[in-house]
Amino acid sequence: MLQAVRIAGGPMSERPLARGVVARQRFARLFELGDRRNPSSWAPALVLTKNDPDLPLELAPFISSRDYSEFPAKISMTTRGDICIPFNGPETWSGEEGLILPASLVDSDSGISPVGNQMLPVSWQSLHHDSSLLNSEIEPSVVVLIDAPQLAERPGKLIEAVDAIRTRFPTSLIWAPGISGPDNCALLSWMGIDLFDLSRSQEAVTRNVLLTEDGPREVEKTTGESANLQTQIDAWTRALSATRSAIRDGTLRELVERQALSSPRSVERLRRYDSMMSERASENPGLAGLASNVELGRRLRCHSHTSRNDPLISEWKRRVTHEHTPPSHQSEVLVLLPCSAQKPYRLSQSHRRFQRVISTRGVHEVMVTAPLGLVPRELEDIWPAAHYDIPVTGDWDLDELKTIKDMVSTYSTRNGYQRIINHSGIQLEVTGIDIVDTRMGASAGSSEALSRLESEINKASLDFKLSNPKESVHRLSKLKALSRFKHGTDLWLDGAKVSGRPPIFRIGRDGTQIAMWNPHHGRFSFSKASLASLDVCNALSRAHLTPETNWRGDVFSTNLSQVEGDICIGDEILVYQNNNLIGSARATAAGWEWPDGPGRLAKAQHRL
């Protein structure tokens, strides 16, 4: 499928939409429209037609019409406020829909493709056959997926089309006419759609059905409820408000999971979308919209079975299972511990009791938990391990047990442990590795279980003559394991020394501080002095500024020429100009938006 801009015909004098990103979560974004000093409207939002009532500009910044009296059919969109550059009144964009064939005839080329400029109509066919889509010079303000209702009827097609459009048009708003409602606007936003319409709500009025955030239902006559258009619009207002607020607060995933239960089709869409993004994240997490760090207070609420399919969780399980390696002095004995409700685990009362009986630094502690499966001790402060919430019942379902058993088997075999001391309470078997159960049916914090745990750790320490390095060496080795997981290398830590009072550590070399580890932020804070070594060992992604840029502010698409590496929100990035390292920045947008996304892509950190 082609994933590029197309533009042919259409008035070139059309003014572009003024838009900026206020908040991001995966592929959903909260846009402010108009003058950024005083925005007139926001998106996600509604697009009205001439049959719709006059709604506030804050909810509905556009009005659209279609003319079928000619062939190809015409489509136009008018801004309802002063939101185009320059700010001198409303603007009308026009286009042609082309000849749309059924999605089943994708191998056939109709020969008549959609045409537009600032409003660009596209179809399933044009995405596959229109060579003019390869023109990357034009950035439409709005992209309209004109055959969205037909694609919505075919499993997976809507998801593929929206994904192709979203990743190729990172600056554009996307409208998929005819498929949205208060019951799915959060899900469609999660997929990357920004604009909705009242088509389904108008149909619900004619059927005397109320289309709510929880799906369509009959009106309740005993309460005097009505299915009139105003009631439908009230539902839309609540749904848009909830969606915008969730994007701003980083809780859109939870809202999506609740809304998806309103229909089997929405559940199917979310499952397919999760599967597609999980596969993409395994190759490049930034292209799946994932973040490596989040703001303080952000939580990953895993309150339903669907949460387990979140690509963020799938990627965590994959990386721990197949990539993570323990600290160098903890490679022989694995200790499996239960998780705790408090995060990070080390602050909980139960783990403080465990620490009192684990008398050596030579064993590798790994927590067993749902939905992440395994959390090595050195990773407990990072996203999402330190930030997830899950209902605790004390029971494991079959899916959770299978996930944990598979992860333990692969992880322990790959890392070559000689013995597993199992204090998790889950029955485990790993071919070729001795497993000792220290729970024997007792609770993890009981005196009997703790006594057995202490005894088995002391025994393993003697049996394997485990190294028990001093605290400073132990801390550096843990930070190296953490760096390998987050940055793919620990070479920048060669020759470094760790100091400071736990849990905050200063990392220095030759008397100069090169970084700090602060568990509250869950990332290394690199100093200016570390950038050269980070460059040499390829620890960070790179952003190249245009030669003419006088870099004083942050990183935007307007001063960016190219990027190298996988970029997640929160990642530290090295900044180059004319192939010279000139500083660093921290990504505020995921890799799928680079290098052409709207607004600030990274916040400047250091300048050399």
Are both 420 and 490 inside the same structural domain?
A: no
Domain presence at residue 313: no
Q: Which of 284, 303, 334 is the last residue of a domain?
A: 284
> For position 568, which CATH number holds?
2.30.130.10
Least confident span in 190-199, 297-306, 321-330, 550-559: 297-306
**Token pair listed for 375:** 């959390």
| Residue 318 resides in a domain | no
Find out whether 123 and 146 touch, Cβ atoms under 8 Å. yes
pLDDT at 131: 66
The CA distance from 193 to 29, in Å, is 9
Confidence of residue 106 (pLDDT cuts 50, 70, 90): low
Statement: residue 4 has pLDDT above 50? no
- Looking at the fold, whether 529 and 547 belong to one and the same domain comes out as no
- Return the CATH number at 368: 3.40.50.10630
Cα Rg of the chain (Å, integer):
27
Residue 569 gets which letter from DSSP? B
421, 335 Cβ separation under 8 angstroms: yes
Mean pLDDT of the region 56-77: 91
Quick check: is 447 in a domain? yes
What is the residue type of 146? I
In sequence order, the β-bridge partners of residue 47 are 62, 197
Does 511 share its domain with 585?
Answer: no
Q: How far apart are CA 213 and CA 343, in angstroms?
A: 33
Using an 8 Å Cβ cutoff, are 17 and 79 in contact? Answer: yes
Q: Are 36 and 181 within one domain? A: yes
- Same-domain status, 568 and 524: no
Q: Identify whether residues 165 and 81 lie together within a single domain.
A: yes
- 504: which 2 tokens? 């905050």
Mean pLDDT of 163-189: 95
Least confident of 2-16, 238-252, 399-413, 420-434: 2-16
Q: Are 206 and 232 within one domain? A: yes
How far, CA to CA in Å, does 581 sit from each of 59, 532, 536? 45, 8, 11
The DSSP 8-state label assigned to residue 136 in this structure reads: -
Instruction: Say if residue 223 is in the same domain as residue 363.
Output: no
The predicted structure's pLDDT at residue 133: 60
Note the pLDDT of residue 97. Answer: 84
> Quick check: is 498 in a domain?
yes
In tens, the pLDDT along 311-370 reads 999 999 999 999 999 999 999 999 999 999 899 999 999 999 999 999 999 999 999 999
pLDDT at 5 (0 to 100): 35
| 484, 501, 534 - which closes a domain | 534
311 within a domain of the structure (yes/no): no
The size of the chain, in residues, is 608
Please answer whether residues 30 and 607 qualify as being in contact, where contact means their C-beta atoms are separated by less than 8 angstroms. Answer: no
Q: Indicate whether 530 and 544 sit together in one domain.
A: no
Q: What confidence score (pLDDT) does residue 127 get?
A: 81
pLDDT at 326: 97
Q: Are 212 and 183 in contact (CB under 8 A)?
A: yes
DSSP 417-481: -SEEEE-SSS----TTSEEEES-TTS-TTSHHHHHHHHHHHHHHHHHTT-----HHHHHHHHHHH
Structure-token pair, residue 559: 């001063």
Backbone angles phi, psi at 74, to 5 degrees: -95, 150
Question: 298-301: long-range contacts (C-beta < 8 A, 24 or more apart)?
Answer: 298/250, 298/383, 298/387, 299/387, 299/388, 299/389, 300/253, 300/383, 300/384, 300/387, 300/388, 300/389, 301/251, 301/253, 301/254, 301/388, 301/389
pLDDT > 70: percent of the chain: 95
Q: 526 by DSSP, 3-state: which? A: strand
Angstrom distances, CA of residue 517 to CA of 330, 387, 469, 514, 523? 21, 17, 20, 10, 6
Work out whether strand 541-545 and strand 560-564 pair parallel, antiparallel, or are unpaired. antiparallel
- Burial class (CB within 10 angstroms; exposed 0-12, middle 13-18, buried 19+) of 470: exposed
Same-domain pairing of 63 and 135: yes
Identify whether residues 451 and 493 lie together within a single domain: no
Domain boundary residue, one of 423, 455, 487:
455
Give a yes or no: residue 303 inside a domain: no
pLDDT in tens, 412-446: 999 999 999 999 999 999 999 999 999 999 999 99
Range of the domain at 47: 19-99+114-284
> Considering only CA atoms, which of 482, 498, 496 is closest in space to residue 381?
482
Q: Examine residue 118 and state whether it is found in any structural domain, yes or no.
A: yes
- Give 404's pLDDT tier (boundaries 50, 70, 90): very high
Residues 59 and 147 in one domain: yes
Distance of CA 136 to the CA centre of its chain: 26
- Give the total number of structural domains in the chain: 4
CA distance 339 to 580: 46
Q: How confident is the model at residue 105 (pLDDT cuts 50, 70, 90)?
A: low
Residue 109: the pLDDT is: 63
Residue 275 is assigned to a structural domain of this protein: yes
Q: What is the CATH number of the domain that holds 525?
A: 3.10.450
Residue 3 has pLDDT above 60, yes or no: no
CA distance 532 to 581: 8
